[in-house]
Structure 1
Amino acid sequence: MLKIKFLYPYWGSEHLTPTSFIDLAISNGFDGIEINIPNKPVFETDFYNSLNTVRLANPNFVCVLQQVFEIKNETPQDYLIKVLNRLENMVHYKPNFINSHTGKDHYSFSENCKIIDAIEEFALKSKTPIYHEIHRGRFTFHSATTLQYLEVFPQLKLVGDLSHWWVVSESMLQDQEEIINKVIPHIHHIHARVGFEQAPQVNNPFAPEWNKHLHSCLDFWQRIIRSHDKNRQMAITPEFGPFPYMPQSPFDQKPMANQHDLNITMKAFLEQHLTF
């Protein structure tokens, strides 16, 4: 039986201390966390200590780190140096794996391949698994072009956030079955967020008007799970985020739903509807 671990996202909880964030995840029944650690020395030290304290009590606690940078005008070589330095700093935390936002959509195929190759070499040498997230703006921004990279790197592991491809293709990918079938075996981690053809996140996936999109995502996630060895472990992060992912009402800028509640409800929904 495939073991599913549910992770709570740090995205949207930036106001919390590391200990409070980890406590929030545990108190809501999550098996671990996924976090892009802020570049703040005090936070980094506190997070390291809090994480190790939790691991002493629960060695199975899962920690996934993210490699994500703000957009900057930089050469592929400068970008790669920055990424490798970031990854080197992450090894210190002994993550279960790293979720890398890799490359850029406007870098050439050759440039992105050099970046991927260097990251994969780092993963091998550091013995730290690194998965590459499907995301707009990265080398994985589009379904068909991603296949070209999988041909060069057949062992590449991806983080499945298919909401981005929905936006790029302005469709629910219903005309891309052949492509999706080739990509699914490469997905080793799921970001369980419901988007639609014009945005990566609906206001509330459990509203009846989004039922079609919710169950389309559920079908994708189930297919990913079925493609994996039943004796292995896989992580799912319900990943509904704050603004600008979360739609706001005009003028008062109030969120249309509670992000925290959506992530907890999505976890319960998946536990009920997915077959592991």
Structure 2
Amino acid sequence: MLRQVLLAVSRSERAQRVVSTSPLTRDVVRRYVADDIGRAVDELTRRGLLVSVDHLGEDVHDRTQAEGAVQAYLALLGRLPDGSDVSVKLTALGLRLSEQLALDNAATICESAASRGITLTLDAEEHDTVAALHSIHATLRKEHPSVGVVVQAYLPDSVERCRRLEGARVRLCKGAYTAPDGYTSAAEIDRSFARCLRVLMAGTGYPMVATHDPRLIRIASALAVLEGREPTGFEFQMLYGVRPHEQERLAAEGARMRVYVPFGSDWYPYLMRRLAERPANLAFFARSLLSRG
């Protein structure tokens, strides 16, 4: 129930105005959303961590906004080191207007990224975009084999999705949205995540294990060993500002550890979804507010 409430709040303009204008909120947001993307990337890289950068923004409703998102990513690419990744939401590129528009815009970013040694991952969104997400990903892979895509374990077809993505870069996450037939309990989602891990680790693609859950991290590590994967054959991903010591520990042990770094002014929906993804984070963010107050 709390998850549903938080997701509803993430779409509330009134709640956004209240939360966004609080000085305390802005102070906490800076811990989880980079205010200076160049400085944040440099610091993470210095600590031996990889990055995937998300220019926040989604659900644009005119072509000018979509073009603005493309230009923002093209400018961003010039500030990232080789081996970086950019995470792109297709609704920011005009998916709500036209699937072809989103495809064309994603292809433009892919081409520029590839020329700089940077990969692109198509990010997760609402359940009604999943079909278009995978259709666009399949088309892009024909010319850009390294383009990645997200699979959300809360969706009941996630295991089958993983099977169909043989050979691809796949970011596996629990999911921060809802669907009419989606898993809702933590236990169901964790079991689905583990099933997806087994498929991805046994396959020929490149698994990107996006979780902060210690148990799932251990499962992923064990499966990698069982399947004979080298440390370079998969990676862990965690959010900027969340479990930074664990991020450094994994990197120090030789794992590929990538940090998902969001930046930009449109941070409110992102923050609310992070709370909805794991409502226990409410206490974590509350403590952060109190400690800063």
TM-score normalised over the length of structure 2: 0.53
In the alignment, which residue of structure 1 is the partner of 2:79?
Answer: 92
In the alignment, which residue of structure 1 is the partner of 2:191?
Answer: 215
CA contact (8 A) 1:159 1:187 kept: yes
- String of CA shifts for 1:18-41, please: whole Å, max 9, x gaps: 6xx4xxxxxxxxxxxxx764xxxx
Aligned ranges 1:151-170 → 2 under 5 Å: 151=139, 153-154=141-142, 155=145, 157-163=147-153, 166=155
TM-fit CA distance, 1:215:
0.4
TM-fit CA distance, 1:242:
5.0
Name which of 157, 168, 178 aligns with 1:173: 157
1:142 aligns with 2:130: yes
CA contact (8 A) 2:153 2:172 kept: no
Give the RMSD, CA atoms, in angstroms. 4.1
CA contact (8 A) 1:187 1:224 kept: no
1:186–1:107 CA distance, 2 compared to 1 (3 A): farther
Unpaired stretches in structure 1, ≥5 consecutive residues? 1-12, 22-34, 38-42, 167-171, 203-208, 249-254, 263-276
1:80–1:223 CA distance, 2 compared to 1 (3 A): farther
In the alignment, which residue of structure 2 is the partner of 1:236?
Answer: 236
Give the distance between the partners of 1:144 and 1:17, measured in 2 at CA. Answer: 31
In the alignment, which residue of structure 2 is the partner of 1:183?
Answer: 165
TM-fit CA distance, 1:123:
1.0
TM-fit CA distance, 1:119:
1.3
1:62 aligns with 2:50: yes
Name which of 102, 112, 132 aligns with 1:122: 112
TM-score normalised over the length of structure 1: 0.56
Paired amino acid for 2:60: K
TM-fit CA distance, 1:92:
1.1
Structure with greater proportional helix content:
2
TM-fit CA distance, 1:100:
1.4
1:259–1:215 CA distance, 2 compared to 1 (3 A): farther
CA contact (8 A) 1:194 1:200 kept: no
CA contact (8 A) 2:55 2:88 kept: yes
State the SS of the aligned residue for 1:243: helix
Paired amino acid for 1:62: L
CA contact (8 A) 1:193 1:238 kept: no
Paired amino acid for 2:124: I
Give the distance between the partners of 1:185 and 1:54, measured in 2 at CA. Answer: 28
Unpaired stretches in structure 2, ≥5 consecutive residues? 1-24, 207-228, 243-269, 286-293
- String of CA shifts for 1:150-183, please: whole Å, max 9, x gaps: 145332522324257x2xxxxx128x83x54223
1:74 aligns with 2:58: no
